[in-house]
Amino acid sequence: LPMGFRPVYDTYVDVVIEHLGGKSFRETAVEELLARLSKVVRPAYWSKVKTELKKDKIIFPEIIRFDDFSMQYNQRNRISYNYGGELETLCAGIAYGADDILNGNSKMIIRFDDNDISVTDWYDLTTTNAEQIRFYKNGRIDVRFKDSAAAESCFKRLHLDEITLREN
């Protein structure tokens, strides 16, 4: 570009807005997050359980898998290589559903070490409305909220009430 050239910023902004489908960055980010989360929490074809709301908890079945080698030889629960992204997406969803923030990830889990995950303890969360998270050996993850109203609000905001199981 020659010295003194001034681009017409309106055209660049128009291109970006058109790319976003006329939506704001936030609206697009929320849409993309909900789409990613939907893939993570969608029950497998053969599954008999789905995400459920129980009082002040949301129970997410079959979200992660633990690495068999680490469990067998190191007696540590380590997330299997292919499932790390699922946890990151779930955390982002919880942060959005609970506190309306879009930058959630596993760093919001206090004292969390993905190479040595406790399946007996609750981990505290940095979010306000979602307070704790717990992992189970079978891949289930429970999230405890400050009260049942906060849990229900998150459940609906993330469209978890729309999940269905396959009919036989």
| Dihedral (Cα; 128, 137, 45, 105), 10-degree rounding | 30
Let me know if residue 32 belongs to a domain.
yes
Locate 37 and state its tokens. 């989360």
pLDDT for 168: 55
Q: Please provide the DSSP assignment of 16-65 as one string.
A: HHHHTTT--HHHHHHHHHHHHHHHHHSPPTT-S---EEETTEEEE-S---
Let me know if residue 1 belongs to a domain.
no
Let me know if residue 145 belongs to a domain.
yes
Locate 120 and state its tokens. 């007996």
Range of the domain at 140: 9-162
Please identify which residue in the block is written with the tokens 């429970």. 142
DSSP 89: H
Q: How far is the C-alpha of 75 from the C-alpha of 66, rounded, in Å?
A: 11
Helix, strand, coil percentages in the chain from 3-state DSSP, rounded to 5: 40, 15, 45
153 by DSSP, 3-state: which? helix
Per-residue pLDDT of the chain (168 residues; tens, 9 = 90+): 567 777 666 677 777 777 777 777 888 889 999 999 999 999 888 888 999 999 999 999 999 999 888 878 888 899 888 888 999 999 999 999 999 999 999 999 999 998 899 999 999 999 999 999 999 999 999 999 999 999 999 999 999 999 888 775
Let me know if residue 54 belongs to a domain.
yes
Q: Residue 52's beta-bridge partner residues?
A: 59
Let me know if residue 30 belongs to a domain.
yes
Give the number of domains in the chain.
1
Non-local (6+) Cβ contacts of 71 within 8 A are 77, 78
Q: What is the reported pTM? A: 0.85
pLDDT for 7: 64
Let me know if residue 3 belongs to a domain.
no
DSSP 79: B
Let me know if residue 21 belongs to a domain.
yes
Let me know if residue 52 belongs to a domain.
yes
HSE-CB at 10 with a 13 A cutoff on CA atoms is 0
